Amino acid sequence: MTPELDPVIHAQARLRVVVTLNTLGDGDRITFPGLRDLLGMTAGNLSAHLSKLEEAGYVEIVKTHRGRTPVTYVALTRRGRLAFEDYTATIHRLLNPATTPPTDDR
């Protein structure tokens, strides 16, 4: 049986978002404009992909204020980190099927 990739993460733009957020330390977050600039995405495009990731429970979005200025923070959740680990493990299994332990699906 061929392993399946998580369709929420697999979309190219969302994969870029998750990879970038995964580089942050556990509990760390980045501002929306900072993430937008790192990825070179438009605000609308990034917002749409973050919504999909948030619906899946993979990212947390916190809207707050710094003084009088509104600021939005984005972080990868524990569930998002685990989903990304599973995603990368699946990629490895797809690329290196000889190293995948045999299953009893015969």
CA distance 48 to 59: 13
- CATH 3.90.105.10 assigned to domain 7-98? The reply is no
> Any residues with CB less than 8 A from the CB of 92 and at least 6 apart, and which?
99
| pLDDT for the residue 106 | 40
pLDDT digit string (tens) for 47-80? 999 999 999 999 999 999 999 999 999 999 999 9
CA distance 63 to 34: 14
Q: pTM for the whole thing?
A: 0.86
pLDDT digit string (tens) for 75-90? 999 999 999 999 999 9
Six token digits for residue 57: 């429970």
Amino acid 90 reads: T
Residue 86 near residue 4 (C-beta atoms within 8 A): no
Domain regions of the chain by residue span: 7-98
